Each structure stands twice: as structure tokens, then as C-alpha cells.
Amino acid sequence: MVIKPTASIPSWKTWTEEIPLNQNPNTYHMQSKESIEKILGDCEAFFYNVPLLPRVLPKGDGFLLQVRAYLMDNNTQMHSLQSGGKYYISSHAIDDEIVATFWKATQDFIIHEARETFRYKGQRIYGPHFKVEALRKLAGITEEAKRDSPTIIVKH
């Protein structure tokens, strides 16, 4: 593949020659669903002994990555396929970005599960399924100070 100068390049930057992109193995290439799945096939992630599996979905000019696992649902207590949030991967992403995105999606999946099971006085105070409007109303309630704020006196 060769990048050719276009009219959209600012006039202060001039190109004197075409730039071949296939001269070394670290150069840019477009990612496909298959190439992303191949990269993710070299990754392993587990929640306890349960494998966390990446799922790649097409999305416009890129892809969505979603972590899934067969776990017990914390509400129904039945085992079923649980799916995490979706993370965008550009078709221009380098391999490192794809692996890092899977790592981030894996972390968020595990934290989500922990938030579903963490309770204080029997209530899921950090539950991940609170509606944003409910959180906004909660934020509007007068906050109680955790501790007295120190008074700082500045002398000039």
C-alpha cells in the first residue's frame, strides 16, 4: 500500500515522494474481523476458572469487542451467558491496542461482577445497573460530610 499526497494535507507540509507502507513488519495495516480474532486468540483471561471469551462484532468503520462468559446470574441464580460492555476497535488499530482493549474489557467485566455482589447492610450500594437518572437524584440529596473539613488560615 502507498500513501499519496492529497489536497487535504496542509500547504505548509509538502511531500516530495510517495511513502511505501510495506517496507517493515511494524508498518500499518487495516484490521479485519479475522485479524482481530487471531490476535485475541493468543490472549487468555479467566474469572476464577471460567474463561472470559472475546466476541468481535462489525461496527461501521471498525469493530466492537465484548467479553462474554458462562456464569451464574447474580439476580436469577441460574447459569447463563453473561455479556459485558462493548468497546470500539478501529480498523486502523495496531495489535497492541487490540490486546489492551481486551485487557480493559476484561477488567471492567470482572469489576461489574464484583459490583453486583458487593453489599453494605444488605444493599448493593455500588450496583452497576443503576439508572443515570436515579444516580442524578441521589446526587441532589444533601450530602453528609464524611468528616469535618479542616479550616485553613492563610497569612499574607
Q: Which amino acid is at 47?
A: F
Report the alpha-carbon distance of residue 103 to residue 68 in Å, rounded.
13
Report the alpha-carbon distance of residue 127 to residue 137 in Å, rounded.
16
- Give the 3-state secondary structure of 60-76: CCEEEEEEEEEEECCCC
Answer for the pair 56, 65: CB distance below 8 angstroms, yes or no: yes
Report the alpha-carbon distance of residue 125 to residue 130 in Å, rounded.
10
Q: Spell out the residues 6+ positions from residue 32 whose beta carbon is closer than 8 angstroms to its own.
A: 91
Q: Which helix (H) or strand (E) holds 41?
A: helix 33-41
Q: Which amino acid is at 42?
A: D
> Would you call 126 helix, strand, or coil by DSSP?
coil
Report the alpha-carbon distance of residue 9 to residue 83 in Å, rounded.
42
Q: Which amino acid is at 137?
A: K
Report the alpha-carbon distance of residue 156 to residue 140 in Å, rounded.
37
pTM: 0.73
Report the alpha-carbon distance of residue 71 to residue 81 in Å, rounded.
6
Question: In a structure prediction context, what are the per-residue pLDDT tens digits for the chain, which is 156 residues long?
Answer: 555 555 555 544 454 555 454 444 555 689 999 999 999 999 999 999 999 999 999 999 999 999 999 999 988 999 999 999 999 999 999 999 999 999 999 999 999 999 999 999 999 999 999 999 998 888 888 666 666 666 666 676
